[in-house]
Structure 1
Amino acid sequence: MGNGWEKARQAGRAVAGAGRGTLRAGRTAATQAARAGQAGANGVVRAGKGVGHATRRLTHAQGAGRTGLGRLIELTAAQSAGDALITVSLAGTLLFGLPVDQARGQVALYLLITMVPFAVVAPFVGPVLDRFRSGRRFVMAGTLFARGLLCWAMAAAIGPADGLTLFPAALAVLVLSKAYNVSRAATMPSVLPADISLVTANARVALFSLVSAGVTAAAGAGLAAWIGGEWVLRGTMIVFLAAGVSAMRLPRHVDAPDLDFGEEDEDGQDGRPPREKRRWRTLLTLGPVVTEAMRANAALRVLSGFLIFFLLFLVQEGHLRESGLSTQVLLAALAAGAGAGGLLGAVVASWLRGHSPQVIVLIALGVATATAVAGAFFFSLWPAVAVAAVAGFAQEVGKLALDAIVQREIGEEVRSSTFGVVEAVLQIAWVAGGLAGLLLSLLSGRAAGPTGLAVIAAAMVAALAALVVARRRRLRAQEERVRTTVVVPAMAEGRDGPDAAGPDVTGPAGPEPGGGPAGTPGATDGDRPGTEGGQPRAGTTKPLTNPYG
């Protein structure tokens, strides 16, 4: 009996020992797993910090951190990420639920509706922003805070598919986004470092915005499929609110002080444009340089809108399926080509230094025109992708150069109004191109593609030729004004004209003529905005408020 109890006790001790060993092994495994998890988390955190530090070095390079340009780049990238999250969150709603094979009339109606926000931006938002230019930080912060609140409202309307809430809120978000972009573009000269041109600075903003929007859109699409679009919108609200706080922390010199024009009569006899012209911009008061660049960009927008809807319906009707690929693959290839072209355009523009933005705009238009002509002759899937890519590239480069021209030529007192007019005109051009694409896609047969592309290519050639002729006339007129200004006074004093002023006085006109109504000479791209030969341009704009330039 005693031996039996002894064996039982030994067995129990063995079982207890085995249990303690199992517990020790479990604790060891748990400790190792916790350490591995902590190491992985630390690795992710370190990687995130490394990416953040690398991004900060890029955005703050060449003095951009000192002047405030780096913060403005990061702020614009954050608001672009928020806009991308809104787009992917609403992708499954009635706002984006229009099938691509719907009737062309419904697509045309959609195109016309997209013009509504720009009809608000041009006549109202731009002048309002000009009146509040001394509080631009708060204006930009207000657009961000308002979009955050609208995200919460749209999140509540997604479930019941409340179109009466979704549609006005989406239009308001688009208007506020354009208002932010207009205010940001008008602010750019105030934060421009001395070693960076306006084209390069605009390109940096665009490049980081495109990358941020692309990465965020991919992540947002996955989150929307997992937790639902309404929760992504609620998270987007936090993004916008944080961005609004960051906007209020921009440097103070972002806010331009109000200008004191002094006394003047209604006709502007003091040498400056009349006050009502300074507060309001139309196509007739933009000036020749800005108008020339805007017309070139309008032609590029017409091409972009045309290609989107023309190629879309060609794919749907089977005119680009000779390769045997599915409709989704073909559409993805065209979209990828256009997106890659736009991204490449931002990269190339960020490298451009010391080049005239007027020349950049014309070169971009010429490259897009030549590609469209070649695509019409060799029309098939891959030439169409190439045309879409080059169109995206030229549109991005041209718009960045146009922004630089407006920032350089237009005084601060009406710069926001000018950007509002420019944005409205470019959107109208894009819609016009889209409507032309819808009409030409009605052509039947396999010749529809080459014929439609040949029509738009011919229009682009005509636009390019008209701009080149107008530019030559403008430069000749400028040179003639220079000769008249120098030669006539010299002859009146009994001197021998050009020889008295030196051998190079009657040479080329030098700087591009200014964009103001008075036609004052402008500065080259490397000069500071509102200057002539490094000196403030009298009576047209105030000196820069950036104390670090």
Structure 2
Amino acid sequence: MSDPSTPLPPGGSARSGAARFRSGTGRGVRAIGRGVRRAGSATGRGASYTFRQARRASRAEGAGETGLYRLIEMHVFNTGGDAAVAVALAGTLFFAQPGEARGHVALFLGLTMLPFAVVAPLLGPFLDRFSYGRRWAIGVTMAARAILCLTMTGAASHNSIALYPAALGCLVSSKAYGVARAASIPRLLPERLTLVKANSRISLSGVIGGALVGGLAALASTLGGPGWALRVAFVAFAIATVLAVLLPPQADSVAGETPQRLRDALRYKVPGPVVRALRANAGLRMLSGFLTMFMAFLLRQHPLPGWEHHANILMALVIGAAGVGNTIGIGIGNVLRNAEPRVVVLVVLLADTAAAVVCAVLYGLTTAVALGLTAGICQGLGKLALDATIQHEVPERSRTSAFARSETLLQLSWVIGGFIGIAMPMVPRIGLGVLAGLMLGWACFVVVSGRGLSQVQN
């Protein structure tokens, strides 16, 4: 033990303090490192648990045995890629130049949607004729969109006109995928699942994929521009291409089928219940297109009182309510067991009509959000009921053609609604009044013509 009276060597106190500081710093760094490792381990366990639960849900009720789960997992990346493309196009076309935004949107609709009306009706009969290659057809739609996303990357950076044909290619490929996918579901359907519930489960997986990948694309677009959102879409479509090739062979099964000539497929007569469901869904899509375009421009140019400096938040509330409603509608379809599809399509059309009338009479934030929410719920449920009706009523040899006609009609209905919304003066009472009148007239037509279809069928 040292004598306290013995003097310390020069600098001894400083060296001792420095040593203690280094020791304390080292302990702090090690503690931080342990905390980071524990946090990373917890995050990894949480992500692993979430992934396992998602895979378990996708395989539930026999979906794992029939291979339907592979279609569900692939749809996650497909919808995520489509969401990323939408984010990139929104940043390039929509509201990029406020004074010319309406003209840009109308040009986009005209160049990408109307040519699709010519191309899409041929896709279904073609796939019906060569139904044994459906897995590869799905894979081609994924790979084509991956390549087109790389093409659009440069065009989006320079706002080039080349963006429009590439966007058209993405749209056509996306709709071709939807047609082939919908026609493949009955081949992979487990005995314990109804068509409505299987369609709902797949659509719900798409909502999850769109939210996750779309959110990542939005972040990438904010930090690096629309080109980075398209790069995110490329990765999503590349993964989906691999998953398409891994779909089970049952998706291409032709057991019990008779090959159909292309001319016969084009002349196929759609059954009455499918016609009624198509007409009801056309009204739902028209309202959706109108609401998206009209409310987006109206709320930006003429915000509601008190929201003058928060127009973007106001648009997110009203238009975002439709997205939330669509998710709710898909969720409702996932729990429905004995709902009759032909009843569902009429109920949702009447509900949409009632919401449009109320919003036109009592325009305000509450009614506008309620209209968006109702439109989303009704569109989600209506599409599930339509798909189930086609899958149940239409023979396998013509089912893909029926889905192609369905997608074409719904897309054009949305475009027509969008064009009407763009053309309307930015006056809430006028625009929403026209929408309410259109929905009332269309609902009456669907109900009256539906009775005639039932009498003919009987």
Which secondary structure state, in structure 1, belongs to the residue aligned with residue 436 of structure 2?
A: helix
Question: Shift of residue 105 of structure 1?
Answer: 5.0
Q: Which runs of 5+ in 1 are unaligned?
A: 1-5, 263-273, 443-447, 480-549
Question: Relative to total residues, which structure has the larger helix share, 1 or 2?
Answer: 2
Q: Give the counterpart letter for 1:355 in structure 2.
A: A
**Equivalent residue for 1:483?**
none
Cα deviation for residue 33 of structure 1 reads 2.8
Instruction: Report if aligned partners of 2:286, 2:418 keep a CA contact under 8 Å in 1.
Output: yes
* Residue of structure 2 in register with 1:148 after alignment: 146
2:84 and 2:103 mapped to 1: Cα distance?
Answer: 29
Aligned to 2:30: 31
Q: Which amino acid aligns with 1:413?
A: R
Could you report, residue by residue, the CA deviation over 1:119-163 in whole angstroms, capped at 9, with x for unpaired residues?
A: 25423322332233212222212222222222233334444x162
Give the C-alpha shift of residue 79 in structure 1: 1.2
Measure, in 2, the Cα distance between the counterparts of 1:225 and 1:451: 36
Q: What letter matches 1:315 in structure 2?
A: L
Give the alignment partner of residue 402 of structure 1, picking from 359, 370, 386.
Answer: 386
Q: Give CA-to-partner distance per residue, 1:446-471, whole Å, 9 cap, x none.
A: xx433433333233223222322233
> Structure 1 residues 310 and 127 mapped into 2: Cα distance closer, same or farther (>3 Å)?
same
1:463 aligns to what? 442
How many residue pairs match? The answer is: 452
Mapped partners of 1:276, 1:230: distance in 2: 40
Q: Which has the larger radius of gyration?
A: 1
Instruction: State the match for 1:174 in structure 2.
Output: 171
- Separation of aligned partners in 2, 1:104 and 1:358: 37
Q: Does 1:215 align with 2:201?
A: no
Q: Give the letter aligned to residue 207 of structure 2.
A: L
**Are the aligned partners of 1:281 and 1:418 in contact in 2 as well (CA < 8 Å)?**
no
Q: Partners of 2:89 and 2:378 in 1: how far apart?
A: 29
Structure 1 residue 368, shift from structure 2 partner? 0.9
> Relative to structure 1, is the Cα distance of residues 338 and 100 closer, same or farther in structure 2, using a 3 angstrom cutoff?
farther
The counterpart of 1:255, out of the listed 246, 252, 269, is 252
- Of 175, 185, 188 in structure 1, the residue corresponding to residue 185 of structure 2 is 188
> Deviations along 1:163-220, whole A, 9 cap, x unmatched?
2543322221222111111111111111111122111111111122123212322232
Per-residue Cα deviation, 1:414-451 (whole angstroms, up to 9, x for no partner): 22222111111112212222222334326xxxxx4334
Q: How many Å separate the matches in 1 of 2:380 and 2:98? A: 26
CA contact (8 A) 1:303 1:433 kept: yes
Residue identity in the other structure for 1:118: F
Q: Equivalent residue for 2:266?
A: 280
Q: Mapping of 1:122-521 within 5 angstroms?
A: 122-159=120-157, 161=158, 163-257=160-254, 261=258, 275-276=261-262, 278-280=264-266, 285-318=269-302, 321-326=304-309, 327-441=311-425, 448-479=427-458
Residue 478 and residue 126 in structure 1: after superposition, are their counterparts in 2 closer, same or farther (change >3 A)? closer
Question: Per the alignment, do residues 276 and 197 of structure 1 end up closer, same or farther by CA in structure 2, a change over 3 Å counting?
Answer: same
Aligned-partner Cα distance in 1 for 2:359–2:223: 42
Pair 1:66-2:65 in alignment: yes
Take 1:108 and 1:170, find their aligned partners in 2: how far apart are those partners?
14
> Contact (CA 8 Å) 1:182, 1:419: kept in 2 or not?
yes
| Alpha-carbon offset, residue 15 of structure 1 | 6.1
Q: CA deviation at 1:13?
A: 6.7
Q: Which amino acid aligns with 1:129?
A: L
> Would the aligned equivalents of 2:120 and 2:172 in 1 still touch at CA under 8 Å?
no
Separation in structure 2 between the aligned mates of residue 477 and residue 120 of structure 1, nearest angstrom? 30
Say which is worse superposed, 76-85 or 411-420, in terms of deviation. 411-420
Q: Deviations over 1:23-80 (max 9, x none)?
A: 5444433333332222121111111111111212222221222222222112101111
Asked if the contact 2:112/2:167 (under 8 Å) is kept, the reply is no
8 Å Cα contact 2:218-2:229 kept in structure 1 = no
> Does 243-252 or 119-128 show the bigger shift?
119-128
Q: How far has the Cα of 1:344 moved from its partner?
A: 1.3
CA spacing shift, 1:307–1:101, aligned 2, 3 Å: farther
> Which amino acid in structure 2 is aligned with residue 357 of structure 1?
P
Q: State the distance in 1 between where 2:195 and 2:10 align.
A: 85
Residues 81 and 232 in structure 2, CA contact (< 8 A), matched pair in contact too: no
Which position in structure 2 is the counterpart of 1:113? 111
Report if the CA contact (8 A) 1:305-1:432 is conserved.
Answer: yes
Q: Distance in 1 between matches of 2:314 and 2:294?
A: 14
Query: How far does residue 342 in structure 1 lie from its aligned partner after superposition?
Result: 1.3
Q: Percent identity?
A: 37
- CA 426–55 in structure 1, closer or farther in 2 if over 3 Å, else same: same
State the 1:249 CA deviation. 1.3
Counterpart CA distance in 2 for 1:228 and 1:112 is 25
Task: Name the SS of the counterpart of 2:91 in structure 1.
Answer: coil
- Which amino acid counterpart does residue 470 of structure 1 have in structure 2? S
* One-letter identity of the residue aligned with 2:117: A
Q: Could you list the runs of 5+ residues in structure 2 that have no partner in the other structure? A: 1-5
Q: Is the 8 A contact 2:342 2:385 kept in 1?
A: yes
Q: Deviation per CA, 1:227-254, whole angstroms, max 9, x where unpaired? A: 4443443343233222211121121101
What amino acid is aligned across from residue 195 of structure 1 in structure 2?
A: R
Shift of the alpha carbon at 1:360?
0.7
Query: What code does the residue aligned with 1:344 have?
Result: I
| Distance in structure 1 (CA, Å) of the matches to 2:282 and 2:232 | 36
Give the alignment's TM-score, normalised by structure 1. 0.75
CA distance in 2, matches of 1:305, 1:34: 52
Amino acid at match of 2:148: L
- Over aligned residue pairs, what C-alpha RMSD do you find? 2.8
